[in-house]
Structure 1
Amino acid sequence: MYCLYKDIFHLLQFWIIFTCFINYVLSGKMKIVEEPNTFGLNNPFLAQGSRLQPKVTPAPVSVSLSEGPAHLHRLAGKCFSLTESTYKYEFCPFHNITQHELSFRWNAYSGILGIWQEWEIANNTFTGMWMRDGDTCGTRNRETKVILICSATSKLVQVSEPSTCVYSLTFETPLVCHPHSLLVYPTLTKKLQREWDDAEQARYEGLITDQGYNNLLRDIFEDAGLLKSQRIKVTLPEVATNSETHNSLQKCTEDFQKQREEIERLHALLAQHNIPFDSRQSESSRTLSTTVKDQHLRGDNGLVDTQ
C-alpha cells in the first residue's frame, strides 16, 4: 500500500511540473522567425510586389555588340552564392549582387549591393566588373567591384567592405585562366581597333598628350559599350512643321496670294496720298522699290524754314 501511494505521488509531481512548463511556454513571448526564402530579383516564383526593387535596369549584355569578353557572357543567367557569418551573398553576373541577413532579428536586412553597369579597364585588360546603383547607404548608393580570378570551378569565394558602402567581391572561374582571356583590344570591332591604333600612333609622334590619349581611349571604350557613357547628350530642336512653314505647294500658293494682296494695298495707299512709285523690280533683289518725291502727305506742309 505504501508503494502505491508513493507511485501516485510521483505521478502527480511529474504532472504538476509538466503543466507548469506548458503554461510557461504558452504564456512566454516565444517567436520563430523563418530564414528568408527569397533572394530578391533572383527568385522568379515570388510575387513582384515582394521582390527587392532595383533603382536602375542592368546594362545590356550582347555578344553582337562586343560588350566585353564574349566567352564570359555564358555566365549570364546564372547565380553564385556565398554564406559568411550571418550574411548570404548572391552574385548573378551581368545582373546584380544581393545580401541577405540570416539572423532571427525581426528587421533582418536584405538588399541590393549593386547592379551591373560597366567594366574596369587598365593597361588593355579587364580588371573588374562594377555593379553600381545599389540600395541607398547614407548619402550614396551601394556599389560592388567584382574581381575575376582563375580557378578550376566557377564560385564566389570572398566578399568584403573595404570602405563604407563600397564592397569587393572575388569570383573564381576557369573562363579567365587563358593569358589573353581578359584583353580588351580583341573584343573591339575593326573600326574601334583602327581608332585605337591611330591614337597610339598620335601619342608616339607627340601629336597628343597622355591625357588626350586616355580621353580617346575612354571614348573608344564607351562606343564599345564597355564603360558607361559620361558624355553630355544635347538634343537639337527639331524643325517644327506647322501652318507657317511652306510644307506644301498649296501653302506656298496661299502665302504668295497674301503677299500680292498686301502689295496692292500699299499701292492704293500711295496713290491715295499722291505719292509716285516705281513698280519695276530689280533683277538682283526682286523687291518692290518706291521712290518718294519731294512731296508731303495731304495736310502736312513739311518742315518750315525759319531762316
Structure 2
Amino acid sequence: MAVRLSVFLLQLGLAVNGPARTGAAKMKVVEEPNAFGLNNPFLPQASRLQPKRDPSPLTGPAHLFRLSGKCFSLVESTYKYEFCPFHNVTQHEQTFRWNAYSGVLGIWHEWEITNNTFRGMWMRDGDSCRARSRQSKVELTCGKNNRLAHVSEPSTCVYALTFETPLVCHPHSLLVYPTLPEALQQRWDQVEQDLADELITAQGYEKLLRELFEDAGYLKAPRENEPTQQEGATRGLETETLENCNKARSALSEEIERLTSLLSLHGIPHERPTDVTSEQLQGDPGLRDNTL
C-alpha cells in the first residue's frame, strides 16, 4: 500500500511540474510599476512633492502661530486640497490613473493687508502652470472649528481658499498695528501725523506704509521680474509711441498692397482704401515728454 502511494505521488508531481530538464533556462520575472513618475499614487504624498523654495518666516498675529505645523484638508470632486498654515497649499487627485496629479499650489509668502487688517495669506511659487507659477490666497474667517471650508479657482492657476478658525473671531484679532514692535508703531504714528498735516500725499502715505510692512516682514519687496500694476501700466504706455505706430502703419500698408494685387490678379473688383497720411499719425501729445 505504501509503495502504491509513493508511485502515485511521483506521477502527480511529474504531471504538474513536468520532467526535469538539464540546463533549462530560468524564467525571467519583469516587475513593472503600476504607475510612473512623481505622481505615483502609491507613493507617500510627501515624497512626490517638490517645493521650489522654503516657506517665509512666521509673521503676523502671534496667536495664529499655533496653526503652524498642522494641515487641514478638504475633498472636492476628485481632488483633495491640503492647507498647511505658514507652510504651503497642495492638491492631490483622488484617482488611480497612472499620471494622477499631485502638486504644490503655493508656498507661504506674505500677508495681504488692507485698512490696518490682515486680509489674507498669499501662497506663491507653486508648481509651474503655463508661463507662471501657481499661487493661492487664503482668507481667514471666523468659525467654530479649524477647517478648510472652501476652495475655488477664480482664474487659471490662481486659487482661492477659505479657512475657518475661532482664532479670528475677536474683532481685533487681525489688526496689524498691535502686532508691530514699538519702534514701528511710532513710525506709523508719524506717518499718520504727516498725512494729517498734509506733508505727504495719499499716494506717499500708502508707499510709506508698505515700506513699514516690508520692514516688519509682513510684505515682500516686489521682485525685479514682477513689476507692480502701476509699473506695468507705465511700460504699456511707453510702447504706444509715434515710432511704433509708424512701424505698424508701414506693415499694414504692405499687407494692403499684397491683398490689392491678389484681387486684381483674379479680376475681383475692389476699392482701394484711403491712404492714411503721416499727419494723422503724429501721435497723442499726451504721450510725449514735453518737459524742457
Q: What TM-score does the superposition give when structure 2 sets the normalisation length?
A: 0.62
Counterpart of 1:52?
49
Q: Secondary structure at the match of 1:191?
A: helix
Deviations 1:140-189 (A, max 9, x none): 00000000010110000111000000000010000000010000000001
Equivalent pair of 2:68/2:85 in contact (CA under 8 Å): yes
Question: For the residues of structure 2 that align with 1:201 and 1:229, how far apart are their CA atoms?
Answer: 25
Pair 1:171 & 2:168 matched: no
Deviations 1:251-291 (A, max 9, x none): xxxxxxxxxxxxxxxxxxxxxxxxxxxxxxxxxxxxxxxxx
Q: Secondary structure at the match of 2:145?
A: coil
Equivalent pair of 1:151/1:173 in contact (CA under 8 Å): yes
Deviations 1:72-99 (A, max 9, x none): 0000000001111100011100000100
Instruction: Give matches, 1:151-300, under 5 Å.
Output: 151-230=143-222
Pair 1:137 & 2:143 matched: no
Instruction: Give matches, 1:37-186, under 5 Å.
Output: 38-40=44-46, 50-61=47-58, 67-186=59-178
- Cα 1:166–1:231 shift into 2, 3 Å: closer
- Cα 1:71–1:209 shift into 2, 3 Å: same
Give the share of equivalent positions with the same residue, in percent: 67
Q: Secondary structure at the match of 1:77?
A: coil
Equivalent pair of 2:89/2:104 in contact (CA under 8 Å): yes
Question: For the residues of structure 1 that align with 2:95 and 2:88, how far apart are their CA atoms?
Answer: 22
Deviations 1:123-154 (A, max 9, x none): 00000000000000000000000000101100
Matched to 1:57, the amino acid is D
Equivalent pair of 2:83/2:90 in contact (CA under 8 Å): yes
Matched to 2:176, the amino acid is V
- Cα 1:231–1:168 shift into 2, 3 Å: closer
**Runs of 4+ in structure 1 displaced over 6 angstroms?**
31-34
From the CA coordinates, give the structure whose radius of gyration is larger: 1
Q: Secondary structure at the match of 1:116?
A: strand
Q: Secondary structure at the match of 2:52?
A: coil
Equivalent pair of 2:121/2:138 in contact (CA under 8 Å): yes
User: Once the 2 structures are TM-superposed, how far is the Cα of residue 37 of structure 1 from its aligned partner?
Assistant: 5.7
Equivalent pair of 2:68/2:87 in contact (CA under 8 Å): yes
Question: For the residues of structure 1 that align with 2:55 and 2:89, how far apart are their CA atoms?
Answer: 11
Q: Secondary structure at the match of 2:203?
A: helix
Equivalent pair of 1:150/1:173 in contact (CA under 8 Å): yes
Q: Which runs of 5+ in 1 are unaligned?
A: 1-30, 41-49, 62-66, 233-307
Question: For the residues of structure 2 that align with 1:212 and 1:172, how far apart are their CA atoms?
Answer: 35
Question: For the residues of structure 2 that align with 1:130 and 1:32, how far apart are their CA atoms?
Answer: 36
Equivalent pair of 1:117/1:131 in contact (CA under 8 Å): yes
User: Once the 2 structures are TM-superposed, how far is the Cα of residue 35 of structure 1 from its aligned partner?
Assistant: 4.9
User: Once the 2 structures are TM-superposed, how far is the Cα of residue 230 of structure 1 from its aligned partner?
Assistant: 3.1
User: Once the 2 structures are TM-superposed, how far is the Cα of residue 105 of structure 1 from its aligned partner?
Assistant: 1.5
Deviations 1:185-219 (A, max 9, x none): 00001000011110011011111011100010001
Question: For the residues of structure 1 that align with 2:97 and 2:103, how far apart are their CA atoms?
Answer: 15
- Cα 1:145–1:194 shift into 2, 3 Å: same
Q: How many residues align?
A: 188
Q: Secondary structure at the match of 1:171?
A: strand
Question: For the residues of structure 1 that align with 2:90 and 2:198, how far apart are their CA atoms?
Answer: 47
Instruction: Give matches, 1:1-40, under 5 Å.
Output: 35-36=41-42, 38-40=44-46
Counterpart of 2:18?
none
User: Once the 2 structures are TM-superposed, how far is the Cα of residue 57 of structure 1 from its aligned partner?
Assistant: 1.1
Question: For the residues of structure 2 that align with 1:35 and 1:185, how far apart are their CA atoms?
Answer: 45
Question: For the residues of structure 2 that align with 1:230 and 1:223, how far apart are their CA atoms?
Answer: 13
- Cα 1:114–1:36 shift into 2, 3 Å: farther
- Cα 1:37–1:83 shift into 2, 3 Å: farther
Matched to 1:153, the amino acid is N
Question: For the residues of structure 2 that align with 1:70 and 1:148, how far apart are their CA atoms?
Answer: 15
Q: Which runs of 5+ in 2 are unaligned?
A: 1-32, 225-292
